[in-house]
Structure 1
Amino acid sequence: MEPILLGFVLIVFLALAFDFINGFHDTANAIATSVATRVLTPAQAIAMAAVLNVVGALAGTAVAKTIATDIVPQDYATLELTGAALLSAIAWNLFTWWRGLPSSSSHALIFSLVGAGVAVGGWGIIVPKGVRKTLTGLVTSPALGFIVPIVFMTLLTWLVLRFLRPRTVTRSFRWLQIASAAFMAFSHGGNDAQKAMGIMTFALSAYLGTQVAEVPLWIILSAATAMGLGTAVGGWRIIKTMGFKVVDLKPVDGFVAEASAAGVITVATHLGIPVSTTHTISSAIMGVGTTKGFRKVKWQVAGRIVQAWVFTIPVCIALGWVFHKLILLVG
């Protein structure tokens, strides 16, 4: 096997490994609330999330194209650059998974790509449009994730909940929460699996030595499968943080949080904006919690989550740069 082909195969393996890790790292995004409210058993929730992650991943490629073309130009694509970005993102994902912190796999990959790109050609080669799009998602998705469920819960309370007995509310929203958890799993697959599709398309451009405009079918199918398998494994440390340590949830709370977050993520996916599903659902859970009173939210845990968000960008830029230098040194 030729060295360049071997290198490309290795990059694809790393990208699928990242997607797999993303699946179990972000399983909590889709199922933490439904497990916490006991609407679904962990096994049922993971099975549903795994299947719908795959279905969502097959729904489009707008985000993948952003990753493949709008962060670092394909003219600068090399296998070393791609490998450095993936190693950086995988390292950060594993560290935050080990610490039980729901950080963003999406932003880990994107800013690792930025760091590796800077190592290749300096800040001048980074595409401002793509970075601005990513930063827009970074700011607006958690903001909307926090605000939308507050508005949704307020309207739901005035229009429906105040006329029903608590037992009726719990029984009715158990079924609705299953639907919202399914929507959340679908939206998660639709946005997050496309990150791996984008980085593999970027690597394919490096391998072929020419720009690749469309995401090949084999990349779409392999990324969708890897994420589904990763989701099936599950990420129990983060599920515990997301579902049980931020706020006590009831089925109606889980429904509002999941439906709101999934709606925000779905809109972003159609616009080609690579948002963090972790940021969005975390914010939605906190937003729902505030409707019960600020004291109901465990803000100390929320603070640890925000810390992980803040550190992801500079740490992954630095890691991407370092891994690229190490790859060149070893090579």
Structure 2
Amino acid sequence: MMLELNGMLLLVVLLALLFDFSNGWHDSANAIATVVSTRVVSPLVAVIMAGILNIAGAFMSTAVAKMVGSGIVDPSTVTQQMVASALAGAILWNLFTLLLGLPTSSSHALIGGMVGAAVTHGGWDTVKLSGLRSVLEAMVLSPFFGFAIGLSLMVLISWMFFRVPRGIATKIFKRLQLLSACFMAFSHGANDAQKAMGIITLALLSAGQIQSHDVPGWVIGACAVAMGLGTAAGGWRIVRTLGMGIVKLEPVHGFAAETGAAAVLMVTAHIGLPVSTTHTITSSVMGVGAIKRLSAVRWGVTRRILYAWLFTLPGAAILASVIYLVGTRLG
């Protein structure tokens, strides 16, 4: 890595890797909550498995990284302080919601942080509204697709296994759920690890260290490892909320929820849209729970999650804006 990392650029790279770590830590529940709550594997095996597959998934594509790095804010207006403030705001929001045990979106936190810092730095002219609109539309639609696919899979499975004894079906789906959990962990790495890659690439481009939006190999590797280590650390309070607080899950529900959510994430990662893995898997869990009856979903817990979703974008934006202003004053 023949780069001249000055103090501020080095800070941005470190903050981006810290964000990736906090993203993995915060979002480990996305991959392992259902497989742990249904007792298919032990928590230790689950987090190790998810961490390894997160790293593997991060190497699948860089389409999301390019969208984050060039599609939301105008690269020509970017400063290192602006990027650092965006990352710091997103990290603080992740830590705040992690302490509350709420599965909020690290993607929303990062996008909110970027917009908050960019607007504070140079006004709304620094934001690419068309790109931001595309990202927000995908973030809104992905939970609906997660819910619909999870519900549809449960309907299909119920029809196919209608005459199969419950004990045999449970054994089958315990094995299948292990595969779906691996699929979910891989797709999480494929989508979420790229967001920090895009931020680092944007910072390197604005500092003149690289000449295009192509993500350097060392950035891919560093972000993949940071995400994997964060996932292996495990955010256990969120695991409990997602795996046991929304609806009582069995292996068949875990399989349907993970498969539905992972399918949505793989498609969006291929297209290059940074959607929320948290929103997608949570809505998919709601979808598979709703097939029992609507009262099977614990809507009190769900309301708390929805409130956290609504406040994530503005909350992270405000934090990033304050951090930028404080940094400007101190500088």
* TM-score normalized by the length of structure 2: 0.97
- 8 Å CA contact 1:74, 1:211 repeated in 2: no
Are 1:15 and 2:16 counterparts?
yes
Aligned to 1:166: 166
Structure 1 stretch displaced more, 200-209 or 88-97 = 200-209
Are 1:208 and 2:208 counterparts?
yes
The percent of aligned pairs where both chains have the same amino acid is 49
Distance 1:34 1:65 in 2: 32
Distance 1:214 1:202 in 2: 10
Structure 2 counterpart of 1:311, one-letter code: F
Structure 1 counterpart of 2:33, one-letter code: A
Distance 1:21 1:125 in 2: 27
Matches within 5 A, 1:177-196: 177-196=177-196
Q: Secondary structure at the match of 1:148?
A: helix
Structure 1 stretch displaced more, 261-270 or 148-157 = 148-157
Instruction: Show CA shifts across 1:295-320 (max 9, x none).
Output: 11100001111111000111122222
Aligned to 1:31: 32
Aligned to 1:279: 279
Distance 1:325 1:62 in 2: 32
Aligned to 1:256: 256
Instruction: Show CA shifts across 1:110-169 (max 9, x none).
Output: 1110111101111122102221121112211101111111111111211x2102010011
Aligned to 1:44: 45
Structure 1 stretch displaced more, 200-209 or 174-183 = 200-209
Distance 1:119 1:96 in 2: 24
Distance 1:264 1:68 in 2: 22
Distance 2:308 2:22 in 1: 17
Structure 1 counterpart of 2:8, one-letter code: G
Distance 1:51 1:96 in 2: 25
Q: Which structure 2 segments of 5+ residues have no match?
A: none
Are 1:328 and 2:328 counterparts?
yes
Aligned to 2:124: 123
- 8 Å CA contact 1:77, 1:205 repeated in 2: no
Q: Secondary structure at the match of 1:212?
A: coil
Are 1:225 and 2:225 counterparts?
yes
Shift of 1:325: 1.0
Distance 1:210 1:30 in 2: 34
How many residues align? The count is 329
Distance 1:67 1:324 in 2: 20
Distance 1:18 1:4 in 2: 19
Q: Secondary structure at the match of 1:29?
A: helix
Q: Secondary structure at the match of 1:26?
A: helix
Distance 1:4 1:172 in 2: 52
Aligned to 1:314: 314
Q: Which structure 1 segments of 5+ residues have no match?
A: none
Aligned to 2:135: 134
Structure 2 counterpart of 1:181, one-letter code: A
Distance 2:76 2:114 in 1: 14
Distance 1:137 1:305 in 2: 19
Distance 2:249 2:81 in 1: 45
Aligned to 1:240: 240
Instruction: Show CA shifts across 1:11-38 (max 9, x none).
Output: 1111101101111100000000000000
Q: Secondary structure at the match of 2:207?
A: helix
Structure 1 counterpart of 2:306, one-letter code: V
Instruction: Show CA shifts across 1:29-55 (max 9, x none).
Output: 000000000001101110110000000
Structure 2 counterpart of 1:323, one-letter code: I
Distance 2:178 2:150 in 1: 17
Q: Secondary structure at the match of 1:163?
A: coil
Structure 2 counterpart of 1:137, one-letter code: A
Structure 1 stretch displaced more, 53-62 or 200-209 = 200-209
CA gap 1:4/1:219 in 2 versus in 1, 3 angstroms: closer
Q: Secondary structure at the match of 2:188?
A: helix
Instruction: Show CA shifts across 1:53-96 (max 9, x none).
Output: 00000111000001100111110111000000000000000000
Matches within 5 A, 1:62-101: 62-101=63-102
Q: Secondary structure at the match of 2:6?
A: helix
Structure 1 stretch displaced more, 3-12 or 85-94 = 3-12
Shift of 1:4: 6.9
Distance 1:264 1:111 in 2: 22
Q: Secondary structure at the match of 1:224?
A: helix
Distance 1:112 1:104 in 2: 12
* TM-score normalized by the length of structure 1: 0.97
Shift of 1:210: 6.8
Shift of 1:244: 0.9
Structure 1 counterpart of 2:171, one-letter code: R
CA gap 1:40/1:223 in 2 versus in 1, 3 angstroms: same
Structure 1 stretch displaced more, 240-249 or 128-137 = 128-137
Q: Secondary structure at the match of 1:162?
A: coil
Structure 1 counterpart of 2:307, one-letter code: Q
Shift of 1:206: 2.2
